Structure 1
Amino acid sequence: MTIRFIHAADLHLGSPFKGFAGLPGKMAETVRESTFTAFRNLIDHASRTRPDFLLIAGDVYDGEDRSLRAQEQFRQGMEMLRGAGIPVFVSHGNHDHLAGSWVRFSLPDNVRVFGPEVEKAELTIRGTTVTIHGFSYPERHVTEPVIGRYPPAGGDAVEIGMLHGSIRGDEAHDVYAPFTKDELLEKGYDYWALGHIHKRQLLHEQPPIVYPGSLQGLHRKESGAKGFYDVAIGRGKASLEFIPAGALVFGQAEVECAGIRHADEWLERCMDRIRAFREANGPGLLDLRLSGIDEGAEGMFNDAPESEWLEFIREAAMRDCPDVGIHRITWERAAAPAVPGGLFRDVLDELVSWDADGWKSRLTDLYGHRQAYRFTGRLDEESIREIREEADRLLTEGLMKGGRAE
């Protein structure tokens, strides 16, 4: 006998999608709607293929102050699954924890939401008992291990654990409900349905320990196809099929600029990369990284502001590939020319002197704010690098303008 279920996590319904100003109207709307579109793709797949049940392992919503629209969209999806006879098991994570403040919506009776303590739910599928263990975050920060509260497997039931958390010692992500792979395996479960890490990962094959990743990429660092797993367990073994669900894919393309002297040449090279991305990934949002900028290309680019080049390629992309938006352009230039000293130079030198702790100390009020974190994201090494680079770019532009004014 085989049971079949869907494992999804990190829906983040209602994400504000910070940092996408300036996109053409249709693409901006696609980005804003993408988490809802991905969710509808999940519901459509489940309604069409009729799995035995659906697991959602945390962060259904993007924030603790769940919006009315996000909750209504989720409720409607659950009603559709109820009509298809599909039970749903939900655990809430650090983003949509139980201590948040929101207007409550009722959910249909096919939905089981786990409480703040580890609980188990049972259902019988064609004569086989399936036991699902899980919990919801009682508050935003659950930094202590919870794995010890999960009971060991026992009996003949198919046993599944749901856990929104991270591997102990993984400093690349915020550490919540930490665990080790051995601790999960010691429980003897047939499947571990994980959430919290937005990158798709298979930590162990048999039994599977799985992060399905986010349902939709939320920013440019969450590149590649996003979706969920369609899982079958039979005769003690599991098979997994990844199902893409995202409305658009975030990506990056490098445009070699050596030898370019005219804007039409640059445009054609960019469009070649944009078309290739579209063919490989479908709809998406793309960063263009300009490399190999020699002296001649630099002279061409200096004849118009960077904002105009960005608008130029956005308009061209919308004509040829209307479902691929250009998020931004980054310029890999040779060493910057000498610039005048003074206050700007002092500020640049000060920025360079800060280490990671220095940046975190100076930005803690913003990134630690109860509401602002929804719009800023996590202050990790990559974010610090981007902030430093952007500050350097803006200050350097100021220096150059100041030098020309003199």
Structure 2
Amino acid sequence: MASIRFIHSADLHLGSPFSGMKGLGTEQWKQLQHSTLKAFERLISYTLETHPDFLLIVGDIYDGEDRNLRAQHRFQQGMEQLHDAGIPVFLSHGNHDHLSGGAASFELPPNVHVFQDSVENISLEVSGQTVSIAGFSYGRRHVTESMIEHYPDKETGIVQIGMLHGSEESDTEHAVYAPFRKEQLLAKNYDYWALGHIHKRQQLSADPPIVYPGNLQGRHRKESGPKGFYDVVLTDGHAELEFIAAEAVRFERIAIDCSGVQHMNELFSIIKEQLETQDAEALVCDLELQSPDDSTLLMLEDIPQAELVYAMREALSEQQRFVHISSVQLDKGNLTAELSPFGKQLADRLQDWEAGDWKEALKELYNHPKSGRFLPQLNDGLQSELQMEAVAKIRKMMALEDQR
């Protein structure tokens, strides 16, 4: 049996607004705003250069149901390039860009098959073999029912691939859409399950592969590390997967060993050296100062975090590439033992806050007739930033108070 080769991508989120980011220079902000489109261009370029048998895009092509016009145009241009090269594309819409949202403004070329809101099974011939691809698009934003029972069983003698934008029933970290159990997917006997919706790259099964490629471009600190897609080769029931990085800007959390540091110039030098080891083209990073001893704490205790971050950004301004310090935190593990029981309870309580808790706490500020219109959108990125800063403030203030 000849090999079948395809690209598995998901969660492009073209047109992401990156609201909640602050402290960026003008050029850095432009580069960040353009990053989802740049990552998409890299996906298209790689596909054109390597010419796979087909390309899969498993949901959330656009960041919102209004489908940003510029993002739509760039996507349509990319599909036209693949059409000219004779590369089929199979795509589904997810919870962010569901079919009930804004109507598409650009017609896609005939090489692109868009799944509708019920499961379809589309077949094509690849090197004399029949390949069937099953999938569906979200007809509305919230698809909470399981869709697995609507997927056909594999037929004898064909290669069967499933596309599914959804999450495991047991997932407690994300909103559960189109829920499934791994056992249900395995029972279908498919050769490959191409998943989307979860932005963390992971493989739920190796044989057969059940794979989340993660999103194409990180959008905040929770989406750290390399982002991209998979180049997949199927041969006689065996799969080979190669991850291809595509992100234009990488979000990263970087640990800095600051034990024995007594002066700020020492700390800045260590940070510069550590950042030079990062291979990212552009970097937005949270720094975690680990192993602080008494001399380090004494040096940092009276410096506001905002001033420390600003000074570090200025020290890195001569860097040739885009490097942005988003936050600086003391290692929480070192300070947890020094907290009083009340301080620990307060910090742990904040760690468990969800979107509704933050909205309730900040509603007077956001509803203020003068100040409210100047505040950034209270999205996941900003909530995470507020949470980290609040918990770090509690830990630092109470731990240092106990030392006095």
Aligned to 1:144: 145
Q: Cα 1:337–1:88, aligned 2, differ >3 Å: closer, same or farther?
A: closer
Tell me which amino acid in the other structure corresponds to 1:362: D
Aligned positions of 1:344-383 closer than 5 A? 361-363=356-358, 376-377=379-380
How many residues align structurally?
Answer: 383
Cα deviation, residue 289, structure 1: 1.3
Q: Cα 1:300–1:97, aligned 2, differ >3 Å: closer, same or farther?
A: same
- Aligned counterparts of 1:255 and 1:358: Cα–Cα separation in 2: 27
Deviates more, 1:240-249 or 1:353-362: 353-362
**Contact kept in structure 2, 1:351 and 1:388, CA below 8 Å:** no
- Aligned counterparts of 1:233 and 1:376: Cα–Cα separation in 2: 40
Tell me which amino acid in the other structure corresponds to 2:379: T
> Is the partner of 1:320 in helix, strand or coil?
coil
Aligned to 1:404: none
Cα deviation, residue 94, structure 1: 0.8
Aligned to 1:403: none
Aligned to 1:134: 135
- Aligned counterparts of 1:260 and 1:137: Cα–Cα separation in 2: 53
Aligned positions of 1:6-405 closer than 5 A? 6-102=7-103, 104-278=105-279, 281-302=280-301, 304-320=303-319, 322-332=321-331, 334=335, 361-363=356-358, 376-377=379-380, 387-391=386-390
Cα deviation, residue 394, structure 1: 6.4
- Aligned counterparts of 1:255 and 1:226: Cα–Cα separation in 2: 23
Cα deviation, residue 283, structure 1: 3.0
- Give CA deviations for 1:63-119 in whole Å, capped at 9, x if unaligned: 111110111111111011111110100001111111112452211111110000001
Please list every run of 5 or more consecutive structure 2 residues that lacks an aligned counterpart in the other structure: 363-374, 399-404
Q: Cα 1:337–1:77, aligned 2, differ >3 Å: closer, same or farther?
A: same
- Aligned counterparts of 1:186 and 1:337: Cα–Cα separation in 2: 51
- Give CA deviations for 1:32-67 in whole Å, capped at 9, x if unaligned: 211111100000000111111100011111111111
**Contact kept in structure 2, 1:62 and 1:374, CA below 8 Å:** no
**Contact kept in structure 1, 2:351 and 2:387, CA below 8 Å:** no
Percentage identity across paired residues of the two chains: 46
Tell me which amino acid in the other structure corresponds to 2:164: L
- Give CA deviations for 1:194-220 in whole Å, capped at 9, x if unaligned: 111111112222221111111111211
> Is the partner of 1:311 in helix, strand or coil?
helix
- Aligned counterparts of 1:245 and 1:197: Cα–Cα separation in 2: 17
**Contact kept in structure 1, 2:350 and 2:391, CA below 8 Å:** no
- Aligned counterparts of 2:125 and 2:294: Cα–Cα separation in 1: 70
Q: TM-score scaled by structure 1?
A: 0.84
Cα deviation, residue 396, structure 1: 9.3
Tell me which amino acid in the other structure corresponds to 1:97: H
Tell me which amino acid in the other structure corresponds to 1:376: N
Q: Cα 1:301–1:236, aligned 2, differ >3 Å: closer, same or farther?
A: closer
Q: Cα 1:33–1:324, aligned 2, differ >3 Å: closer, same or farther?
A: same
Q: Cα 1:21–1:6, aligned 2, differ >3 Å: closer, same or farther?
A: same
Tell me which amino acid in the other structure corresponds to 2:324: G
**Contact kept in structure 2, 1:5 and 1:230, CA below 8 Å:** yes
Q: Cα 1:373–1:199, aligned 2, differ >3 Å: closer, same or farther?
A: farther
Q: TM-score scaled by structure 2?
A: 0.84
Q: Cα 1:101–1:398, aligned 2, differ >3 Å: closer, same or farther?
A: farther
> Is the partner of 2:34 in helix, strand or coil?
helix
> Is the partner of 2:318 in helix, strand or coil?
helix
Cα deviation, residue 389, structure 1: 4.6
**Contact kept in structure 1, 2:119 and 2:135, CA below 8 Å:** yes
- Aligned counterparts of 1:352 and 1:251: Cα–Cα separation in 2: 23
Cα deviation, residue 364, structure 1: 6.0
Tell me which amino acid in the other structure corresponds to 2:357: R
Cα deviation, residue 172, structure 1: 1.8
Deviates more, 1:259-268 or 1:290-299: 290-299
Q: Cα 1:153–1:395, aligned 2, differ >3 Å: closer, same or farther?
A: closer
- Aligned counterparts of 1:253 and 1:107: Cα–Cα separation in 2: 41
- Aligned counterparts of 2:394 and 2:335: Cα–Cα separation in 1: 17
- Aligned counterparts of 2:264 and 2:204: Cα–Cα separation in 1: 47
Please list every run of 5 or more consecutive structure 1 residues that lacks an aligned counterpart in the other structure: 339-345, 400-406
